Amino acid sequence: MSIALVILAAGKGTRMNSDLPKVLHPIANAPMLVHAMQAGTALAPERVVVVAGHGFDAVQSAAEDFNEEVVVVEQKEQNGTAHAVEVCREALKDFGGDVIVLFGDTPFVRAETLKSMVAAKAENAVVVLGFEAADPGKYGRLLMSGDQLDRIVEFADASDEERAVTFCNSGVMLADRETLFSLIDDITPNNAQGEYYLTDVVGLARQRGLGVTAVACEESETLGINSRTHLAEAEAVFQARARQELMELGVTLQQPDTVMLSFDTVIGRDTTIEPNVYFGSGVTIESGTRIRAFSHLEGCHVSRGAVVGPYARLRPGAELSENVHVGNFVEIKNADVGEGTKVNHLSYIGDATLGAGTNIGAGTITCNYDGVMKHRTTIGDKVFIGSNTMFIAPVTVGNEAMTGSGSVITKDVPDAALAIARSEQQTKPGVARKLFEILKKKKQKRALENK
């Protein structure tokens, strides 16, 4: 049976105290909406519909950035969860499969959990996702009879006996499209909030004699985000889960709590990550590498056997080949670094191509920006770059060439050539002593004037 995802993302999120729509607040460098969409991709959905309201344009843009085929519909008035699903009717009118309803502010439902719901759907018309709550609070309660779910009662409408139930509703629901919208047609706002509750689908389905069940998941999967405190808790949940998964895949995290990962970080096994490393979005690290302490990586690719850091920064477009060494206080941006090349300290390599087996001396800078446009520096194989060399791009250095320390390279350097570009040294005997005496007298005079 084909699957359609409906993701409810229309809420303003007043408690976030923000101009940004709630579902666009980031967790691990991706909007929480994207996390919800990503979980659903494991079901290979035929269609994805996002319901947006507050900040519609921004939500639509974020959804389309993740999935260009997504359909974003607008819920202009917030009349409850059933109404939110109702506004998807037109977008799903020609869809004949099952619909799973997710929430943009509940980003941690696992793909395995969603697959369990799909499996339960084989023998039931409606499947609800529930969890055993340590502190049920004001969650809706799932009232079961054996393996069948009789109804969902919202906290505000529940009796004391019903409030004692700890099996709670996550809000996630699965039903075939025809059944889902048929049941929504029968929902009335007979509740304390005067809203159209999607949860009423369960009782209505049971009245029709349809099978309804609930699948249980871990409570952490259902974490809803309604405040900055919740956002911080969600970040901690994501990081703990992601670190654990990496270690299970064979990655060594020397001090796991200090490593920050992104939603799309990929790290191969037998890689060692030292303490206090930050991974921004778009980072892929191949197996057998070492990322040393206090390094910051984003939008880059690091190949096998490479060593990065400590205190290194890899920016978007940095591509490191195998066995590259990038050392302390080195920044690399939009640059390809060839196999075995070393950029060991205090250098900026931006908009550049470096060949294999090249050594970049300390303090080297590719001067790539002229104030208007970026220009590229190309350095060949087995090149030795002397310390404190400035490359005024665009410029090319041939294979097996060399630059003298302190050079400012403004012209291309042929293969095997030595380029030295610096002013001739002038030495003036005795002038240093005289200069110091003059400066000391000035300092003494200033001190007397300031008394």
Going from the C-alpha of 428 to that of each of 432, 440, 441, the distances in angstroms are 8, 20, 21
Reported as a single tens digit per residue, the pLDDT across 330-363 is 999 999 999 999 999 999 999 999 999 999 999 9
375 is catalytic: no
Average pLDDT in the chain: 95
Reported as a single tens digit per residue, the pLDDT across 228-287 is 999 999 999 999 999 999 999 999 999 999 999 999 999 999 999 999 999 999 999 999
Six-digit token pair at 316? Answer: 């978007």
Does residue 193 register a pLDDT over 80?
Answer: no
Going from the C-alpha of 117 to that of each of 3, 98, 113, 217, the distances in angstroms are 12, 11, 6, 10
Q: What is the pLDDT of residue 449?
A: 86
- Looking at per-residue pLDDT, the higher value among 283 and 226 belongs to 283
Task: State mean pLDDT over 164-186.
Answer: 95
Task: State mean pLDDT over 117-125.
Answer: 95
Show the DSSP H helices in 249-345 as ranges. none
Q: What is the pLDDT of residue 81?
A: 92
Q: What is the pLDDT of residue 297?
A: 98
What distance in Å separates the CA atoms of residue 131 and residue 215, rounded to the nearest whole number?
8
List beta partners, residue 152: 142
Contact 360, 376 (CB under 8 A): no
pTM, two decimals, is 0.88
Residue 56 CB-density burial (10 A; 0-12 exposed, 13-18 middle, 19+ buried): middle
* Domains located in the chain, CATH noted: 3-222 (3.90.550.10), 228-419 (2.160.10.10)
* Half-sphere exposure for 271 (CA within 13 Å, toward CB): 26
Contact 30, 263 (CB under 8 A): yes
Q: What does the CA dihedral 221, 224, 228, 234 come to, rounded to 10 degrees?
A: 10
Catalytic residue among 54, 230, 345, 375: 345
Residue found under tokens 């060593």: 307
